[in-house]
Amino acid sequence: MSELLDHVGRRTFLKLLGAAAPAVAAGACSSVPPERIIPYVIPPEDDVPGVATWYATTCQECPAGCGMRVRTREGRPVKVEGNPEHAINRGRLCIRGQASLQGLYNPDRIRGGRRREVTNASAGQSRLTNVAWEDALTSLAARIQTVREAGRSSRIAIVTPLVTGTLDRLFDTFAKAIGGARRIRYEPFGYEAIRTAGRIAFAREAVPHYDLARADVLVSFGADFLETWLSTVEYSAAFAEAHREQGTRRSRFVHIEPRLSLTASNADEWISPAPGTEMLVALAMVQVIVAERRTQVIQDADLKFITDLVASYSPDRVASQIGVPAAKLTELARLFSDPKAGPGRSLAIGGGVAGSGSNATALQVALNLLNYVAGNVGTTVRFGPDASYGRASTYREFAELVESMRAGDIEVLITHDVNPAFTLPAALGFSAALERVPFVVSFSNTLDETTARAHLVLPTHGPLESWGDEEPRAGVRGLRQPVIAARFDSRHVGDLLLDVGRRLGEEVSGALPAEGFYEYLRAEWRARYEAEPPASAATPGSTTFDDHWATALERGGAWNQIEPQPVMFSREVAKVSFDAAVINGPSDGLVLMPYASLHLYDGRGANRSWLQEIPDPVTKAVWSSWAEVHPDTARSLSAQEGQLVSVESPHGKLDVPVVLNPNLRPGTMAIPIGQGHTEYGRYAAGRGVNPITLIDPTPELLSGGVRWLSVKVRVTPRALYRPVLKLQSSESQVDRDIALAVSLDDVIAGRAQTAPGVEHRSLSPEHTHPEYRWGMAIDLDACTGCNACVAACYAENNVPVMGPEAVRRGRTMSWLRIERFVERRDPAATAVDVRFVPMLCQHCDHAPCETVCPVYATYHTDEGLNAQVYNRCVGTRYCSNNCPYKVRRFNWFQSEFPDPLHLQLNPDVTVRSQGVMEKCTFCVQRIHEGKDRAKDEKRPVRDGEVVPACAQTCPGQAIVFGDLNDPSSRVSQLAGSPRAYRIFDGLNTRPAVTYLKKIV
């Protein structure tokens, strides 16, 4: 450039500059293409363009069966929310539920039928090619017919997830009609131990309902109910309700697990036992309770029996094996059984994935004993409203099927929405056994590891495109209805079965009389309705089936209260041997704990970009796999943070980078499940490692479940560094007073208040807020750090996903993040003090960002919002530099939404383009909507009428939004709470967000 300027000189340069500008300006104006405006041919009834329509349906991301309400605009779903009426989740939704939209609009969905075509027979090469539906269905029916007519129907196997309700019935009917095909309801996290222990201790093989909301003392033996255990949203909400400060009362939660998981982080006390010894803790507690006569409502004979059974498990005897002081165990037992409180005031739960080993059933039996002696059975442990998990096939049944496949006894394998090639222990040999099956059909809409090996792939509708119902627990029947016409060339799996059935002759089609699955579903509901008309509470105001159906569709299903049924204690317990978990591998190796991931579950979430980009709640890592080890253990291995280590078990080997975690028991290694896909799509394939490849494939003896905790691994550091991408690298607040806490005693004594800071004066005139003044209150005591709000924000506000490379440079765009701080603690103490702080734009009254914007693109509105006007912003980034909360995000790139993900974008929110700043708006589009409605009804906005996406989904109800001008609003009252404080108050920014101190 300097060379050029040498020739030109200043005057010429300016002349040229003058000439250039109009040329550009002219070019910019003339090229706007004409736009077509396309009317409806026949307008849909009750649909107003630009106004949202909501539908109730049921989530299918895990077997919890939460109810959802889906917001659609012009026929496409743009946001899912919890259904406030639903019996399971009461309006809340977890991060996986929020991300279900990315399943519907997944860019890697299969867009039509595929058939395997041999390309080179001698080399055994083949590939999937397109196939027409008619050909595909004909060939499938012909295959089944051949096997059937030869009388070998038992050589057909159907593997589905834990489907419930009508679809389950249809699968069963189909399997029976074709002559008795084998059927597996496969759930990788099946909780077989819980139901087996129910049979052993109470002669009832079921997964009971746990009433966390009622428990004053909750002791969890590795049950990660805030992450993946059974029904996370329901149990998170119930826990938050019990754990909330109510005057002087607040429940106490003790978590027992070798690793400080997200659930453990929210406990009052965390006890870290040797892996696989949780059961001994429970038995020691039982021993103390019976020995000290602290039992409740229990027959003398049973008491005598239990006393004898646990006599040898006194705290003194087992303490050394557990690695926890005996006094601690005694204290815990006394806390758990308070005869003064009456029966049913405590609850013991257990059996998360990471802690399930060879004694998983023994642990559950011990917990049953513990709940029994404390008088909890029938009160906080309720048999009757049993979870559908009790109907899943056990892992052992699947292992037997794999054995049959290997032996060549399976001729046709039909899979639907399951991925055993990824989720089964690799050493079981599923992939090799699959090669022995001559015909594998996959009803699935994603090309996962299993589907990629199929001979015929028939794409099915996603849950949001489907009719269906779900029965997550007795008494709750959620309905599923399509909220969008099928996006791709796919069919409903029920329609496929019915279609195939029709091709198999009268005998089969006679058993499957329905035209399509919708008719089948309706007939099923009608039959049920006619057999026993539901109590009016289930679907109020319905007198005929059509009314009942319409009401159920509108409400999202029908449910009624199932009363707990009494169970009798069974002496079968004596047959259980209470030994610590068997963990095989090198004696000096580390105990491997593969744990279920809050985001990715069993791996099914890995191709959803939100779940990859939102940081893991504990490690804050994104887009990767990692192995957590204790710093002391790492030192003895000579491994450092970010260093790649070879992890070798008796069953497999993998390389993974190390993440140092001081809150993990030394001598163990924890690896999250979910990454390590070789197929499954652009966001998942080739990323991270799959720890399931390392574990022992032998089922647990009593329950037949997977032994997740089964191996020790030899760890060898390699001379390679692959630092894990983390969005927060320090757990320390560095004395900045971001997350404050107070003790319960201080709250009760009225000493929770922070001393008022120095009174600041402002040079500028104060803002006035004549009508509304929007504000938010966030209760750190209710926030569990579950990330649901973050995903809700991504969905509502069109926040782009940047990918790992951009994240590495700190260019994530999230408007809301959860900061995690761990207070320094005495390693011997059990008290937990982990603080999660949802951090978003604070909408300061004295906003540092506003004063530095040279173009007034950010300003304070008269409703107290800190506005960001995208079309004014020129991208100087001064505002971001001046923001002490670091909540402003700059668009370095033009964001991408690969087709069809762009259909998820919320039309009420501008998609920001390259070069502008963006940040939380307090969901201003929802404020507009609320004000619009209020204006229609000629009234002010009601408290609670405007709910931002983050507050809407929060399972713990930690976030409250409203008008600070209204002294009776909930947010005003919380802002005046003794626990209230504002972050960085000393800077005089006067935020509109009030935080409430955590109680520790």
Partner 1 sequence: MARRGDNSLTRALLPATLTLILVGLVALVFRVGAQGQPPVPTQSTESGTRPSRGSSTVQPLAFSHRLHVRERTIPCLTCHTYARRGPVAGIPSVQRCAQCHLTIAKDRPEIVKLLKYWEDKAPIPWLRVHDLPDYVRFTHKRHVLADVTCETCHGDVAGMDAAVQTAPLTMGWCVGCHKQLYAPTGCLTCHY
Contacting positions for partner 1 (CB under 8 A): 3-4, 6-8, 12-13, 16-17, 19-21, 23-25, 27-28, 32-43, 48-51, 798, 859, 861-862, 865, 867, 869-875, 902-903, 905-916, 921, 924-925, 928, 932, 935-936
Q: Are strands 217-221 and 346-350 parallel, antiparallel or unpaired?
A: parallel
Q: Which of 684, 592, 696, 603 is nearest to 645 (CA)?
A: 592
- For the purposes of burial, counting CB atoms within 10 Å of the CB of 934, is it exposed (0-12), middle (13-18) or buried (19 or more)? middle
> Which is closer to partner 1, CB of 800 or CB of 955?
800
Is 897:78 a contact under the CB 8 Å cutoff?
Answer: no
We find the least distance from the C-beta atom of residue 80 to partner 1, in angstroms, to be 18
CA distance 598 to 617: 8
Q: How far is the CB of 809 from partner 1 (least distance, A)?
A: 19
- Bridge-based pairing of strands 774-779 and 668-672 is unpaired
Residue number with CB closer to partner 1 (133 or 892): 892
- Residue closest to 522 by CA, chosen among 565, 468, 569: 468
| CB nearer to partner 1: pick between 25 and 829 | 25
Q: How far, in Å, CA of 785 to CA of 794, rounded?
A: 16
Per the CB < 8 A criterion, the answer to whether 708 and 353 are in contact is yes
Nearer to partner 1, 78 or 332 (CB): 78
Spell out the SS3 assignment of 328-355.
HHHHHHHHHCCHHHCCCCEEEEECCHHH
Measured from the CB atom, is 292 or 862 closer to partner 1?
862
Residue closer to partner 1 by CB (options 139, 910) is: 910
Classify strands 998-999 and 439-443 as parallel, antiparallel or unpaired.
Answer: unpaired
Contact 179, 153 (CB under 8 A): yes
Task: Give the nearest distance from C-beta 914 to partner 1 in angstroms.
Answer: 7
- In contact, 414 and 681? CB cutoff 8 Å: no
| Token reading at 56 | 């109730």
Q: Which is nearer to partner 1, 159 or 873 (CB)?
A: 873
Regarding beta strands 959-963 and 114-120, do their DSSP bridges make them parallel or antiparallel, or are they unpaired? unpaired
Nearer to partner 1, 574 or 855 (CB): 855
**What is d(CA 312, CA 329) in angstroms, rounded to the nearest whole number?**
15
H-helix or E-strand spanning residue 30: helix 2-30
Nearer to partner 1, 745 or 932 (CB): 932
The answer to whether 765 touches 992, Cβ cutoff 8 Å, is no
Minimum distance from residue 868 beta carbon to partner 1 (Å): 8
- Taking the complex as a whole, the smallest distance from the CB of residue 27 to partner 1 amounts, in Å, to 8
Residue 13: CB minimum distance to partner 1, A: 7
Judged by DSSP in three states, 103 sits in helix
What minimum distance in Å lies between the beta carbon of 654 and partner 1?
A: 41
In this complex, which beta carbon is closest to partner 1, that of residue 3 or of residue 735? 3
Q: Which is nearer to partner 1, 325 or 875 (CB)?
A: 875
Question: Which is nearer to partner 1, 860 or 998 (by Cβ)?
Answer: 860
* CB closer to partner 1 out of 3 and 506: 3
| Of residues 721 and 856, the one with the C-beta less far from partner 1 | 856
Burial of residue 151 (number of CB atoms within 10 Å: 0-12, 13-18, 19+): exposed
The least distance separating partner 1 from the CB of residue 6, rounded to whole angstroms, comes to 7
Q: What is the C-alpha to C-alpha distance for residues 7 and 13, in angstroms, rounded to an integer? A: 10
Any residues with CB less than 8 A from the CB of 195 and at least 6 apart, and which?
Answer: 205, 206, 207, 389, 390, 703
CB of residue 949 to partner 1, shortest distance in Å? 14
Cis amide leading into 586 (omega within 30): no
In terms of phi and psi (left: phi > 0; alpha: psi -120 to 50; beta: otherwise), the region of 667 is: left
Distance in Å, CB of 503 to partner 1, minimum: 33
Closest by Cα among 572, 636, 450 to 202: 572
Q: Shortest approach of partner 1 to residue 905 CB, angstroms? A: 5
Q: How far is the CB of 32 from partner 1 (least distance, A)?
A: 6
Instruction: Compute the least distance from the CB of residue 650 to partner 1, in Å.
Output: 53
Nearer to partner 1 (CB atom), residue 224 or residue 908? 908
439 class by beta-carbon count within 10 Å (0-12 exposed, 13-18 middle, 19+ buried): buried
In degrees to the nearest 10, what's the CA dihedral of 366, 371, 375, 378? -120
Residue of 183, 174, 188 lying closest to 141 (CA atoms): 174
- CB of residue 933 vs partner 1: minimum separation in angstroms? 11
What is the DSSP code (8-state) at residue 75?
T
| Distance in Å, CB of 50 to partner 1, minimum | 4
Give least dist CB 806 to partner 1, A: 18
The nearer residue to partner 1, 443 or 772, going by C-beta atoms, is 772
Task: Please check whether residue 77 is in contact with residue 69, taking contact to mean a CB–CB distance below 8 angstroms.
Answer: no
**Residue appearing with tokens 């303490």:** 319
Least CB distance to partner 1 at residue 684 (A): 25
Given the complex with partner 1, which of 9 and 510 has the nearer CB atom?
Answer: 9
Q: How far apart are CA 880 and CA 537, in angstroms?
A: 53
φ, ψ at 998 (rounded to 5°): -70, 145
Distance of CA 299 to the CA centre of its chain: 41
Q: Which of 410, 440, 474, 472 is nearest to 187 (CA)?
A: 472
Extract the tokens encoding 593. 């704990």
Cβ 70 to partner 1 shortest distance, Å: 18
Name the packing angle between helices 300-310 and 278-291 (round to 10°): 130
Q: Which residues pair with 652 in a beta bridge?
A: 649
Nearer to partner 1, 145 or 910 (CB): 910
Residues 6+ apart with CB under 8 A from 578: 279, 280, 283, 313, 359, 362, 365, 366
Q: Can you read off the two tokens belonging to residue 49?
A: 């363009």
